Structure 1
Amino acid sequence: MHYWLGLMSGTSMDAVDAVLVSFEAQSLSIHGTHSLPYPDDLRHRLVMATRNQADPDELGELDTLTGQHFARTASELIERSGISSKDVQGIGSHGQTLRHQPSGSAPFSMQIGSAAFIAEATGVTTVSDFRSRDIAAGGQGAPLVPAFHKWLFESEEQDRCILNLGGIANITWLPAGNRKPIIGFDTGPANALLDAWCLDQTGRHFDDHGHLASEGATNTELLASMLSDAYFTKPAPKSTGKERFNIDWIRTHLQRFPDLAPEDVQRTLLQLTVTTVLQQLPQESADMTVYACGGGTFNPLLMNELRLGLGSVTLTTTGALGLDPQWVEPVAFAWLAKQTLKGLPGNVPEVTGATGRRVLGAIYPA
């Protein structure tokens, strides 16, 4: 059997998630999973780097330290699985995003986490830097997971929308029977602002089960101010990140509302996520089912508000399709590594805006 390993750490920067998987024609089997939290010091340094507080020496060190952490995560998973590393065909590592600027005269997307250290530590060929080739071809370089969504989740009978609720929310609309091109883009923040505000106010990295937000009430004026951000009405293809939606973004909008209670701000941020997702969902199908994945699926308040907003449209998770919502993205990067090493494209031009399909990633041989 051929095994593939996927590594993912999103904008929440809480841990590296790893999955060991095998692929069949249109299905997959998971043979092991592992999450390895970042040490507090490394996480703090990564957060500072996303705020442009890192000189070249710091960026170089972070690239190595993050790569070593990814390598440890992969090595521990392989060891626990009881599978020989020689049977792992390849590792796909998304890396840790520090900056995503896909527009302008010099577009780029920066993910660190040296794949050379992963390949050296595991003895497995490793693929990384998936976004750059798509950007070079005129695309956004993100989201890249819709190609995997299409491969695994597309249905002949049912219109489906895959909703990823990570730090940033993104959607993939999969029309039944491939009758129309798929649609995919970042809608805006999911957990990024919720986590940033919770950390700023409580010292906790996230609002566990939405408890802080549940104690507050949405402030409609603040919500309207936040919704005025031009990103939300920008047409696709589009992608974004914490370089735009961060604690400073929140503070800018709070300048007119200095007396709001922290829990009211938290609830308003949650409503911002709900509203921007609902406003940007494709309207092509009244029978569409929405399948959510990512860390936001563990926030019952967020899921309940989305469910209420969707009305007659069914909201569930990718678990209903056989893949636990926590592991969708690391599995996707294992699949993207397979595509790369087989010389097959991994992007969807209709989603990213690239001029064509491209083989993605840089390869570090075993």
Structure 2
Amino acid sequence: MIIAGLMTGTSADGLDLVIAEFLPDPTVGSDLVGADPTTLTVRILAERETPFDDQLAADILRLLEPTDLPLSLVSSVDARLGRFCAEALSELCTDHDLSPDLVVSHGQTVRHDITDGQVTSTLQLGQPAFIAERLGAPVLSDVRSRDVAAGGQGAPLVGLLDSLLLSEVEAPTAVLNLGGIANITVITPGQDPIAFDTGPANALIDILARRITDARQSYDRDGALAAAGTTDEDLLTALLSEPFYGRPAPKSTGKELFHAAYLDSFLEAHPHLGEHDQIATVTALTARTIAEAVRDHDVTTVIASGGGTRNPELMRRLGEELGEGIAVTSTDEAFGLPEGSKEALLMALLGWLSWHGLDGTAPSLTGAIGPRIAGRFTPGEGPLRLPEPLRRRPTRLRLAD
């Protein structure tokens, strides 16, 4: 199958697209029943990052703030983001002369509500019907809700991809994603994988970057703003008092917690700090909370991806927090997988699994009462015809050149 994966993350800065070909291991038969490990080979055919236009980006960011907003804005963003995804994917398909059999669109998470550690609802916008109409292919969307309905966190979902990529790992390894929120998957030989959000990655950094540059920058380009400041230990100690950090996995969070008003509640108690010291301190917060989560699981290697890997100051601070005993590398180096394409590839993988009737979640990763098939389908230009369900999920994912 050729599957397109579309991902918009908590940084809300644009759309990541991957078109990939999925090839089951021919040595074990078409129903994937046979010798273990069963391997699924994936070849990336095309990839792209497409930034949102200014108005769409601004309206998405409005929806991510914990304030009352008109329902008309929700409806408008749902439609505009759906059209944006359809246009961006159509251009990528045309440029590479590709026609996907299936599209998987994550959409933009605008709410991920949590009460006493339990996710009560999750909402992603980006109407899939526009993609199905434009591309003529069926679309899988709403990939988190079924896990939430089964008592799971619905996030992070990337743990399944990580565990398939690291099926033969020999020492405890953490796969880290640095988006708006940071999450890790911990793979330990002989144990079920676990995954959880550690706290903010770029969420608070981005808020301050916009303020410092009068919105000329939506992020701390090259970490230059944080590098110009000094960490304030009093502010850092206050920020570390957030109860979320001490909660056990599985757990998830989002901008419902780590938003501008939340940050300001701490900054107001430290009015003497300059803006560069503020951003240096929240950068230190990201590094510290990730490092503490990693050390709790005796990890020896961290494999990082996401936009935060492009911030050398953040990566430097993370390396210092982890110390010499823990190696830090990237998905590019470890798997040959571009860091910006990983979560879009996850969407494509979830599509392949759901199309074949296979679970896309696991209880050890999300805390649900059992594994669940992810998402719901929007038919393409013809009737939806799913193949006979497979009986076994692959145990290994191999990336082909």
User: Aligned residues: percent identity?
Assistant: 38
1:199 aligns with 2:210: yes
The residue that corresponds to 1:10 in the other structure is 9
Unaligned runs of 5+ in 1: none
The residue that corresponds to 1:218 in the other structure is 231
Q: After the TM superposition, which parts of structure 1 deviate over 3 Å for at least 4 consecutive aligned residues?
A: 102-106, 282-286
The residue that corresponds to 2:53 in the other structure is 39
Q: 1:182, CA displacement in angstroms?
A: 0.8
1:299 aligns with 2:292: no
Task: Tell me the distance in 1 between the aligned counterparts of 2:54 and 2:238.
Answer: 34
The residue that corresponds to 2:362 in the other structure is 348
Task: Tell me the distance in 2 between the aligned counterparts of 1:194 and 1:154.
Answer: 34
Distance verdict in 2 for CA 1:250–1:331, change over 3 Å:
same
1:335 aligns with 2:349: yes
Question: 1:289 is aligned with what amino acid?
Answer: T
Question: 1:339 is aligned with what amino acid?
Answer: L
Question: 2:204 is aligned with what amino acid?
Answer: L
* Contact 2:119/2:152, CA 8 A, preserved across alignment: no
Distance verdict in 2 for CA 1:27–1:305, change over 3 Å:
farther
Residue among 99, 105, 114 paired with 2:127: 114
- State the number of aligned residues: 359
Residue among 101, 110, 121 paired with 1:98: 110
Q: 1:33, CA displacement in angstroms?
A: 0.9
SS in 2 for 1:205: coil
Superposed counterparts of 1:302-317, under 5 Å: 302-311=314-323, 312-317=325-330
* Contact 1:182/1:350, CA 8 A, preserved across alignment: yes
Task: Tell me the distance in 1 between the aligned counterparts of 2:305 and 2:198.
Answer: 15
* Contact 2:183/2:199, CA 8 A, preserved across alignment: yes
* Contact 1:294/1:326, CA 8 A, preserved across alignment: yes
Task: Tell me the distance in 2 between the aligned counterparts of 1:308 and 1:23.
Answer: 39
SS in 2 for 1:119: helix
Distance verdict in 2 for CA 1:339–1:127, change over 3 Å:
same
Question: 1:3 is aligned with what amino acid?
Answer: I
Alignment root-mean-square deviation, CA: 1.4
Task: Tell me the distance in 2 between the aligned counterparts of 1:213 and 1:106.
Answer: 33
Q: 1:81, CA displacement in angstroms?
A: 1.2
The residue that corresponds to 2:89 in the other structure is 74
SS in 1 for 2:226: helix
The residue that corresponds to 1:188 in the other structure is 199
Q: 1:17, CA displacement in angstroms?
A: 0.8
SS in 2 for 1:268: helix
Task: Tell me the distance in 2 between the aligned counterparts of 1:349 and 1:12.
Answer: 27
* Contact 1:26/1:152, CA 8 A, preserved across alignment: no
Distance verdict in 2 for CA 1:163–1:156, change over 3 Å:
closer
Question: 1:281 is aligned with what amino acid?
Answer: V
Task: Tell me the distance in 2 between the aligned counterparts of 1:106 and 1:157.
Answer: 33
Greater shift, 154-163 or 98-107, is seen at: 98-107
Residue among 153, 167, 173 paired with 1:154: 167
* Contact 1:103/1:140, CA 8 A, preserved across alignment: no
Question: 2:277 is aligned with what amino acid?
Answer: D
Question: 2:178 is aligned with what amino acid?
Answer: L
The residue that corresponds to 1:247 in the other structure is 260
Superposed counterparts of 1:51-90, under 5 Å: 51=65, 52-83=67-98, 85=99, 88-90=100-102
1:271-323 residue CA offsets vs partner (Å, 9 max, x unmatched):
0000000111154446x211000001111111111112222211000111211
Question: 1:79 is aligned with what amino acid?
Answer: T
Task: Tell me the distance in 2 between the aligned counterparts of 1:212 and 1:354.
Answer: 40
Task: Tell me the distance in 2 between the aligned counterparts of 1:106 and 1:3.
Answer: 33
Distance verdict in 2 for CA 1:200–1:53, change over 3 Å:
farther
1:145 aligns with 2:158: yes
Task: Tell me the distance in 1 between the aligned counterparts of 2:342 and 2:244.
Answer: 26
Task: Tell me the distance in 2 between the aligned counterparts of 1:315 and 1:156.
Answer: 15
Residue among 293, 308, 313 paired with 1:280: 293
Question: 1:185 is aligned with what amino acid?
Answer: F
SS in 2 for 1:267: helix
Unaligned runs of 5+ in 2: 24-38, 381-401
Question: 1:123 is aligned with what amino acid?
Answer: G
The residue that corresponds to 2:275 in the other structure is 262
Question: 1:183 is aligned with what amino acid?
Answer: I
SS in 1 for 2:377: strand
SS in 2 for 1:217: coil
* Contact 1:102/1:141, CA 8 A, preserved across alignment: no
The residue that corresponds to 1:230 in the other structure is 243
The TM-score, its normalising length taken from structure 1, stands at: 0.95
Distance verdict in 2 for CA 1:106–1:357, change over 3 Å:
closer
Task: Tell me the distance in 1 between the aligned counterparts of 2:91 and 2:69.
Answer: 30
Question: 1:103 is aligned with what amino acid?
Answer: T
Question: 1:8 is aligned with what amino acid?
Answer: M
The residue that corresponds to 1:135 in the other structure is 148
1:166 aligns with 2:179: yes
Task: Tell me the distance in 2 between the aligned counterparts of 1:92 and 1:180.
Answer: 30
Task: Tell me the distance in 1 between the aligned counterparts of 2:42 and 2:306.
Answer: 19
Task: Tell me the distance in 2 between the aligned counterparts of 1:246 and 1:196.
Answer: 8
1:164-195 residue CA offsets vs partner (Å, 9 max, x unmatched):
0110000001113xx01111100000001100
